[in-house]
Amino acid sequence: MSKEDFYSLTPDEVMNALEQEGFVPTGQFTQLNSYENRVFDIHLEPGSPKAPRVVVKFYRPGRWSEQAILEEHGFIEDLAQAGLPVIAPFALRDGKTVSLGHGIWFAVFPRAVGRMVDEFRTEDFRRLGRTLAHLHNVGATKKAPHRPVLTTEAYGDESLRYLQGWIDPDVMDRYNAAAESILNACRPRLARNKKMRIHGDCHRGNILKTDFVDRPSEFFFVDFDDCCTGPAIQDFWMLLSEPESSEIGKQELDLLLSGYEELRHMDDDEIRMIPLLRGLRILYYAAWIARRWEDPSFPQLFPQFLEYDYWANEAKALELIAARV
């Protein structure tokens, strides 16, 4: 199926895909927010054996192979088997967790009930640190050869090359100079750090909290779409409310690490890579927007992307990081 068909995926096509896998939708649905994929909350007919409601995720064509999606699901299943709070997809009719619907890979998940957390408390950080250690211990047990590897070349160099036609000319020299400084510092350090399966996009929006009457509330991880092979510290820094160089950011990082190191050691060299990883993220995120610009939703979601102020602010952010390396 073409990207244009993905952009205009209809409710009927979604329902038909579910029905081919034995689900019986009522026709009631809600499209959920997702920049990268098409995700739907679907009501099923009463008495459905798996769940009264499911979440169906249609993957953007051309991004992941079937093997890469199955490795994402395999990681989630490994975590679930180890007792971690994650949402594993259902096995479908052929026993796999991914299927083709109208030419698009899709998966079906139980609908999870949880809420985003506005503010983490001291013990929340420690508990998240312990959970991340558990997640990384599981991640280190297997390889994921079809998932991306977080390297300077793949996430930084390729992104900077792609952005050359997008950066505002008035700040291009500043932007490129700061980016190159970050990439040159990052390259040897990221290459030598140990890597394993990680969440990869571990920000606060991908951690939800449950509120159960019969047991203590807990955090659970969602959206492993960007899971990759990378350094453990990548799953830390996006959880901080401020950069780790600030007093608040340092306190939060110390709390996360205090929980993490109850179960797993974190090297100081990895911790010192946080600013470099933030720089990689700035480049990768901007290139991601540029690569998706043909998607009709992206110019609406990021209208400032073609403006001088966007690139001037990005150049300044890169320069602040470059000054520290």
The domain locations on the chain are 3-112, 122-322
Give the pTM. 0.93
Rounded mean pLDDT of 130-140?
97
> Residue 318 and residue 59: Cα distance in Å, rounded?
31
Phi, psi (deg, nearest 5) at residue 311? -75, -30
> Residue 179 and residue 270: Cα distance in Å, rounded?
20
The predicted-structure confidence for 143-190, as pLDDT tens digits, reads as follows: 999 999 999 999 999 999 999 999 999 999 999 999 999 999 999 999
Query: Can you give the pLDDT at residue 126?
Result: 94
Residue 154, both tokens: 């793949």
Residue 155, both tokens: 């996430």
| Residue 300, number of CB atoms within 10 A of its CB | 8
> Residue 197 and residue 234: Cα distance in Å, rounded?
11
Query: DSSP states of 50-101 as a string?
Result: S-SEEEEEEPPTTT--HHHHHHHHHHHHHHHHTT-SB-PPPP-TTS-S-EEE
- Mean pLDDT, the chain, integer: 93
The predicted-structure confidence for 85-121, as pLDDT tens digits, reads as follows: 899 999 999 999 999 998 999 999 998 777 777 788 8
Contacts of 71 (CB under 8 A, 6+ apart): 144, 145, 146, 147
Residue 296, both tokens: 């009709």
Is 276's pLDDT higher than 70?
yes
Look at the block and give the residue holding tokens 């920000």.
203
Query: Can you give the pLDDT at residue 213?
Result: 46
Query: Can you give the pLDDT at residue 220?
Result: 85
> Residue 171 and residue 315: Cα distance in Å, rounded?
7
Can 3-112 and 122-322 be said to share one CATH topology?
no
Question: Which amino acid would we find at residue 291?
Answer: R
Is 1's pLDDT higher than 90?
no
Residues annotated as part of the active site: 201, 223
Domain boundaries 122-322, corresponding CATH code: 1.10.510.10
Looking at the chain, the whole-number percentage of residues with pLDDT higher than 70 is: 97
Residue 221, both tokens: 């991880």
DSSP state of 232: G
* Class of the domain covering 3-112: alpha beta
Phi, psi (deg, nearest 5) at residue 196? -155, 180
Is 52's pLDDT higher than 90?
no
Rounded mean pLDDT of 15-23?
93
Of 59 and 117, which is predicted with more confidence? 59
Q: Report the candidate in 147, 145, 63 with the shortest Cα–Cα distance to residue 104.
A: 63
